[in-house]
Amino acid sequence: MKNLHYGHCIIGVAIAAVLLVALGVSASTLGFVAVVLVCPLMMFVMMRAMMGNQTGNHDRDDHPVDHEHRS
């Protein structure tokens, strides 16, 4: 999924919208569906971006170090 090309996806959505308008679906219906789908799509993209920021370094110790009792 990391190699997803957003340009190709946008072109595909544009082609689908043109085909639906050519088949008789009104532009206002397409606009309503687009607005309804934007929210889950944005949530998906934001969650993927947040997960992509993790480096995968699980060896670090997240516990605080007590420097006062060290010898």
Identify whether 19 is part of a domain. Answer: no
Determine contact, residues 21/30, Cβ cutoff 8 Å: yes
Using 50, 70 and 90 to split pLDDT, how confident is the model at 31?
confident
Q: What is the pLDDT of residue 56?
A: 55
Residue 65 lies in a domain: no
The 10 Å CB-count burial string (b at 16+, else e) for 40-57 is: eeeeeeeeeeeeeeeeee
| 25 CB neighbour count, 10 Å cutoff | 13
User: Is 30 a domain residue?
Assistant: yes
Residue 48 lies in a domain: yes
Q: Is residue 43 part of a domain?
A: yes
Q: How confident is the model at residue 69 (pLDDT cuts 50, 70, 90)?
A: low
Count up the domains in the chain and report the number.
1
pTM of the model: 0.48
The verdict on residue 14 lying in a domain is no
> For residue 30, what are the domain limits?
26-52
